[in-house]
Structure 1
Amino acid sequence: MNAQMVLTMGQEALIMLLMVSAPVLGVVLVVGLLVSLFQAVTQINEATLAFVPKLVAAMAVFAIAGPWMLSVLVDYIRRTFEAIPSAVM
């Protein structure tokens, strides 16, 4: 195993991490922004009003994009395990 292989595997891991986490983080960010805007306009400062919609949005994204996220993770793990013999030699 040389330094180039380690750097390539690390780069692939970071890209995969960004791809898998982007949908959830993006939706929760937009929902949080909308809830904060609603709270600022109506002057309602309730902690559950900020938490519950983000939780529901995250659960919805996991329900919709979860199979895709899981397949991306499984493909990465499979490629990593398949690369072990060439890394040892």
Structure 2
Amino acid sequence: MTPESLVDIFREALAVIVMIVSAIVVPGLLVGLVVAVFQAATSINEQTLSFLPRLLVTLLALMFLGHWLIQKLMDFFMQMVQLIPVVVG
């Protein structure tokens, strides 16, 4: 196994992680920004007003993107399993 192949595997793993995490986190961040602007404009300082919409959007993102996220993980796992003979031999 060469260092270049290890770096390629590591790069692909990081790309999959960034894609999956950003698909879950970015919608919550956008909703949090909208709620923060609303709270700043109306001077409402309620903690549940900022937490609950982000939680709901994150759960909805998991619900709607769950199949795609699992498919990406399974594709990466199958690719790694297929690389075992190349890496070992």
- TM class by shorter chain equals over 0.9
Q: Which amino acid aligns with 1:39?
A: Q
1 or 2 for the larger relative contact order (CA 8 Å, sep ≥6)?
1
Number of residue equivalences: 89
Q: Identity of paired residues, percent?
A: 33
Q: Following superposition of structure 1 onto structure 2, how do residues 42-61 of structure 1 map, counting pairs within 5 Å?
A: 42-61=42-61
Distance 2:64 2:52 in 1: 18
What aligned pairs does 1:9-24 form with structure 2 within 5 A after superposition?
9-24=9-24
- Give the aligned residue type for 1:66: G
For structure 1, the residue ranges without an aligned partner over 5 or more in a row are: none
Alignment of 1:1-89 (within 5 A): 1-89=1-89
C-alpha RMSD of the superposition: 0.9
The one-letter amino acid paired with 1:18 is V
Distance 1:46 1:2 in 2: 55
TM-score (norm. length: structure 1): 0.94
Residue identity matched to 2:73: L
SS at 2:69's partner residue? helix
- Deviation string, structure 1 residues 27-73 (Cα, Å, up to 9, x no partner): 01110000101111111111111111000000111111110000000
Q: Choose 65-74 or 22-31, whichever is displaced more.
A: 22-31
